[in-house]
Chains A and B, each alone.
Chain A
Amino acid sequence: MANATHNVIIGNGSAGNGAAITLRERDPDSRITIITMGGLPFYNRYDLPRVFRGCQDWREILVHPLAYYDDNRITLRRNSRVTDVDGRSRSITFAHNEVMQYDQLLVCAGGRGYLPEELSDYKGLMHSFHSFEAAMTTYRALPKDGTAVMLGGDMIGLDLARTLVDVGYRVVLLANEYTFWPHRIDTDERGGFIAALEHMGIEVVDDVRPVAVEEGAAGKPARRIVFEDGGKLDGNVVIPFYGLVPTAEFMLGSGVDIERGLLVDPQLHTTDANIWAAGDVCQIWSAADNAYRFYYGWSNVRQMGEVAARNVTGATEAFEGVGDERLHIGKDGRIESPFWEY
């Protein structure tokens, strides 16, 4: 297989793995390499709240058994950070200075939690929930019956919030314009959804602006939030949930067009003939909206990975997105979102 096509996938999430297995099915002879910054094989980010339901062994959250990669002849490069992609020479440079050649590249690097720049000084005092390791750190920092303070409250955060409340923690949500992200909520609907959160046991403090996070006083919870009006709130952990921003910095010198994410056509093709993108990292041209837009949620992301892989192997299929993107309130008065479905 000396001359087999080398398909490289950057990103080990739902899009990347959906792409990898589709590539394998459609091109049995190709070389497939998945590159990930993380230390674990593929697990589902949407599964991370299970950490608070007793699932604290990393093997329990893996989507596939370890043999899966060997069985499908997929090379998984873990703990590997890509720093640059050069579209002209079709090469990838890693932080450890290795250079890898590719024939076709699929960028599925996803997104990372957005922290508003005005809070960036306090990053070290906040917890995150973007990876298994981060979820475990948060789990260990939150004592039994402790208080988690959530800033913003996107749908990733609200998924965690409902789990925390179910298992006996106190959750205080500082709601703002990012609450319910990526859903766009009309002003007249917002009150109903906030009430539903309260019905679910989440304490909501609406329209306050945190300006600082401090270490808690002796004998008090570990953190203290300071508000613009001088008010304060104690909590054991503070977790920001302000939506996602694409992890696209390493593509800045690649030659592909970027706005916030990698700009792709409906076939998920970037402006480089040999580079495709899928998942939270890309903005897809929508003829209906006359604009580039993001599509979030497991169903969209998975479908994007598969569509991109089919197009890498010769198809010209357009990504259409899952139909219903609306947030709604179920019969039990709890919030339901297609974002949570997987």
Chain B
Amino acid sequence: MLLDVGDVFKALVDPTRRLILDELTERDGQTLFEICARLTTKHGLGSSRQAISQHLDVLEAAGLVETRREGRYKFHHIDTAPLVPIVERWLRPERWGPA
């Protein structure tokens, strides 16, 4: 999978999409309902389900979220693989600070 690193930055620029990734980091594999409920109740976000669904599409296009069908359910998973090239590009081990 060859992804434009620009898509990754574009996906991460939006605070709601970063919150979605935060919540998927806390528990991977969530339905759209759970993601919406967490954003509403934990973060006070008033976004519609359609808006969250569109945010998930952007994250999926950037390779940061993967959708998995399990029978009749659909779960969303975080994939941090697209972040690795970003880290490797500028962040060198010798600059990580004292070990």
Q: Do A and B bind?
A: no
* A→B interface (CB under 8 Å): none
